[in-house]
Amino acid sequence: MSRGLIIGLCEMGVRARHWPYMGRRHARAIVLTMGLIVIAGWDPAQSASLPLPSLAPILERVIPSVVSISIRSTGAGDTNDATLPQAGGSLGTAENVGPLFEISQTVAAGVIIDASNGYILTNNHVIENADDIRVATSDGSSYQGKVVGADAETDIAVIKIRAAGLTAAHIGDSSKLRVGDYVTAIGNPFGLGQTATFGIVSALGRAEFGVEGYQDIIQTDASLNPGNSGGALINLEGELVGINSAIIGPSGSNIGIGFAIPINTARSVMQQLVAHGEIRRGQLGVIVQNNNATSEELFASTQRLERWSAMLFPDQAVRSRE
């Protein structure tokens, strides 16, 4: 290994602190890659033929399974001081033309899970209150989407399209993720279409930033922005390990704190939504209260009633014990 190469790597590590537009994390990744090349052996004669490290082969396989979703919804708007065009070009106030309704359009993403049946995983908050759902695939084709089922507690929803030739994502195992694993997020930020960003798993099992009632979230620093909701989080094998769901940042902008729902959970929820259209959870009725004189007296009265019932209706008492 040449001495100049070692000095060059050390100098690269120092200069990485001064690359303002690249950032320390990406600079360290480059230095690490160069270090691995050195460890593996450096042959200047073969350097020209070595392929540069790239995620392109992985993304070429995965991007066709990620779709862009456009949601249109109608809701009652604020009619205070609103003016609307009238026949003849005059303007009238909202009071004499009826209620004003706002039509909003939202962009998001989804992941094809079942190509033969057209099932797509996305977020519940994406399709909630949707009047019209349009799904665009990577080849530019557009389809009408239909909600199969949704669950607010896990923020998972399943929609369906009728299309041939779809590509389904390869499902991974999110339980094997470790903090520090490289991941790529693919979504539809700001309606730009399929976009990939790169980062690591920052934390696992997040509870304090859970979506609704769910408390086992993947945290990542892969850049997520409005429109990434429902998109794919994949590992370096190209396997789907999470469904991107939320970010923390001022005014919804990215600051490197994003969250994804583990695919193990999303897949389990999807199976129930496809089968029943809803999640059927067990319920247990329990009332917790302080133990005081009133409750003790009531409990004693209940026990006396049970003893009397057993004396008067012995057959029922036997059946209840069985």
pLDDT, tens only, 70-95:
998 865 433 334 333 334 443 344 44
State yes or no: pLDDT of 269 exceeds 70: yes
Confidence of residue 21 (pLDDT cuts 50, 70, 90): very low
The C-alpha R_g of the chain, in whole angstroms, comes to: 28
Instruction: Please confirm, yes or no, whether 68 is among the known catalytic residues.
Output: no
> Which of 65, 174, 229, 245 does the annotation list as catalytic?
229
> Which of 68, 151, 155, 221 does the annotation list as catalytic?
155
State yes or no: pLDDT of 45 exceeds 70: no
Instruction: Please confirm, yes or no, whether 268 is among the known catalytic residues.
Output: no
Instruction: Please confirm, yes or no, whether 155 is among the known catalytic residues.
Output: yes
The mean pLDDT value for 147-172 works out to 92
Give the pLDDT confidence score for residue 218 in this predicted structure.
93
Give the pLDDT confidence score for residue 235 in this predicted structure.
95
State yes or no: pLDDT of 191 exceeds 70: yes
**Contact by Cβ (8 Å): 219, 259:** yes
Higher pLDDT, 252 or 111: 111
State yes or no: pLDDT of 98 exceeds 50: no
State yes or no: pLDDT of 249 exceeds 60: yes
> Which of 65, 68, 125, 223 does the annotation list as catalytic?
125
**Contact by Cβ (8 Å): 111, 66:** yes
> Whole-number mean pLDDT of the chain?
75
Residue among 148, 172, 236, 246 nearest 199 (CA): 236
